[in-house]
Amino acid sequence: MSGVVGYIGDKNTVEVLVAGLHRIKGHDSAGVAVVNDQGVSAVKSLGKLENLEAKLAAQPVSGAVGIGHARWATHGVPNETNAHPHFDAADEIAIVHNGIIENYQELREALQQEGVTFRSQTDSETLVHLIRKYYTGDLFKAVQQALQGVKGAWALGVVCKNNPDVLVVARQGSPLVVGFGENEAFMGSDVSAIIKYTRDVVYLDHGQVCEIRCDGIKVEDLAGNAVTPEVIHVDWDDSAAEKDGFPHFMLKEIHQQPEVIRSTLRGRISDDGCSINLSDINISEEEIKACPRISIVACGTSWHAGMVGKYLIERFAKIPVELDLASEYRYRDPIVEENSIFIPVSQSGETADTMEAIRLAKSQGAKILAVVNTVGSSVARESHGVIYQQAGPEISIASTKAYTTQVTSFVLLTLWLAQIRGTMTQDQAKEMIEHLRTLPEKVQAVLENQDPIKALAGKPKYRDAQSAFFLGRDYNYPSALEGALKLKEVSYIHAEAYPGGEVKHGPIALVTNELMVVCVAPQGNIYDKMVSNIQAIKARAGLVISIATEGDDNIQAYSDDVLYIPECYEPFTPILVAIPLQLFAYYVATNRGCDVDQPRNLAKSVIVE
């Protein structure tokens, strides 16, 4: 996600803005705008914040009210033109925005019809031109009216040359907090951006617009109903504030999953809920129809997500899918068929093995369609088409939200492929999309019931285990692989994963009463087979933790412990079971005193072979 900051008062506005931007993790460009006698002055830069600071040192700007932005690109590559703040045509109104505007194309086209010229490729720029359209002197009213026609998510900061004593902010989806000082006020995407100056804050709620003046605020909803928000005192220290109060980035990012899955879906589902819109990924319907085979290639967690993608695409879009680890693909002389589609999966978009695999496939004529989280990354730039995960920056080395948004991206891709190839009826697609829309709230439900997971992770027989198996079948074999990787990389417990049906072909020799065996067994077509595998483990005194569907009492007879997930459409269970697996790994690791966010020997992006 990007980050927004704002200030109004007697301090050095640019200093306050830049200090706030430094607290926002992960960005590709930044900028500030301040209101002064000359109008609205802005400075923007590409890359690190230090570049902005250097430009500000060379061309200082000042003013009593201002806004700032650290951009994590979602629409439009990272460059100065796409960096925020964005301006109206008269350069009198400036905005900073965090979020995704779902209907920005239709808004952009309508504004262009009215003669508006756009400068950037961003969805955000539509907002400033809409505000200008409704502006008649009252900035608060103009923002309120402009947002009534907008769909999507925003944390928005707005300033105007003609309203030098006002900062207007608004929130829908993306977080936004307002802080109060002595005859001054602050705004930020999260409290870490303003906690240096104030601990008395208001968290705006969805659909609210707030006019900030030095001596107080006015809050209304979009319909103009007044709201009296609660002022709370935040007593986090600086480090906790950076993690939104969580002890580690990993736990913060696990809890971001309901919202980031919504971001992955945002703007992708038709209003009637019957179809998917991936028309912007630069792969034509003809190319989809002509495709004889898909190759999915990735590393680590991204490879696990790609495996779920393989199961989904073959089952619902009926296209053969090959799955490869990038480090193997690039050296095994793969056969790349004409018109085949090659799908690299990468959170960072910089993984060396994945990059080399792309170059090999491209050299042999494949069409490259990437699933990636980082806009403007090497993978994105070297692909013909891209599906962005929209997960925002993932700071913790252990991938969590990147995994679930990658799997969600594969669900969207599967539906889109099936739509084009005619392998699903409209009713089947509608049913799948209905299940898809319930995912964020189901993930939230698991997050709100994590005490059993925490308790399990504290049991010495699990916390102090020397080794662990993770078992799963079909869609949930990749879940087992991901659960094993999470546990081993943050707690250093040796863990390996097998398909449930494979254990009897050798690994079962290792089953003793000291071996922890996590069995992923939600309700589904292969549930009975999985229970048989669990029985075989239990018969040899293995320590079984089952991940099962709420209401399944049957499985308790063969398990030492059971962690439950809400009922879930089987093809989407990998997204839901990932949550208890992530939390189990996290709590075992913290119980063992491990450095969860920076595990030994690991890097966030493996840019070397």
Could you list the residues that contact ligand AGP (CB under 6 A)? 299-302, 346-348, 351, 354, 397-399, 485, 489, 605-606
Minimal distance, residue 561 CB to ligand AGP, in Å: 24
Contact 96, 68 (CB under 8 A): yes
Q: Which is nearer to ligand AGP, 66 or 344 (CB)?
A: 344
Nearer residue to ligand AGP within complex by CB, 126 or 374:
374
Q: Which is nearer to ligand AGP, 2 or 302 (CB)?
A: 302
Alpha-carbon gap, residue 69 to 84, rounded angstroms: 6
In angstroms, what is the minimal distance from the CB of 354 to ligand AGP?
5
* Least distance in angstroms from the C-beta of 328 to ligand AGP: 14
Buried b or exposed e, range 251-271, using 16+ CB within 10 angstroms: bbbbbbbbbbbbbbbbbbbee
Q: Which of residues 295 and 354 has its CB atom nearest to ligand AGP in the complex? A: 354
Question: Is the CB of residue 154 less than 8 Å from the CB of residue 146?
Answer: no
**Residue 407 Cβ vs ligand AGP, minimum distance, rounded to whole Å:** 13
How many CB atoms neighbour CB 50 within 10 A?
11
For ligand AGP, the nearest residue by Cβ is 300
Considering the complex, state which of residue 88 and residue 489 has its C-beta at the smaller distance from ligand AGP: 489
Nearer to ligand AGP, 354 or 479 (CB): 354
Task: Quickly list H helices, 148-298.
Answer: 238-242, 249-255, 257-265, 285-290
Minimum distance between the CB of residue 351 and ligand AGP, rounded to whole angstroms? 3
The contacts of residue 47 (CB under 8 Å, 6+ apart) are: 28, 29, 78
By CB atoms closer than 10 A (0-12, 13-18, 19+), residue 65 is: buried
Look at strands 154-160 and 86-87 and give their pairing: unpaired
Structure tokens at 462: 């699990």
Q: How far is the CB of 473 from ligand AGP (least distance, A)?
A: 22
Structure tokens, 314: 């073959």
β pairing state of 543-549 and 516-520: parallel
Where are the extended beta strands (E) located within 37-110?
39-46, 65-71, 86-87, 93-98
User: For residue 383, which amino acid is it?
Assistant: S
Smallest separation, CB 409 to ligand AGP (Å): 12
The beta-carbon contacts of 268-274 under 8 Å, at least 24 apart in sequence, are 268/412, 269/433, 269/436, 269/437, 273/430, 273/433, 273/434, 273/437, 274/426, 274/429, 274/430, 274/433
Shortest Cβ 521–ligand AGP spacing (Å)? 23
Of 434, 408, 456, 424, whose CA–CA distance to 308 is shortest? 408
> With respect to ligand AGP, which residue has the nearer C-beta, 54 or 607?
607
Choose between 348 and 479: whose C-beta lies nearer to ligand AGP.
Answer: 348
CB of 495 to ligand AGP, least distance (A): 13
Residue 122 or 354 having the CB closest to ligand AGP: 354
Q: What angle do CA 502, 508, 510 make, to 5 degrees?
A: 135
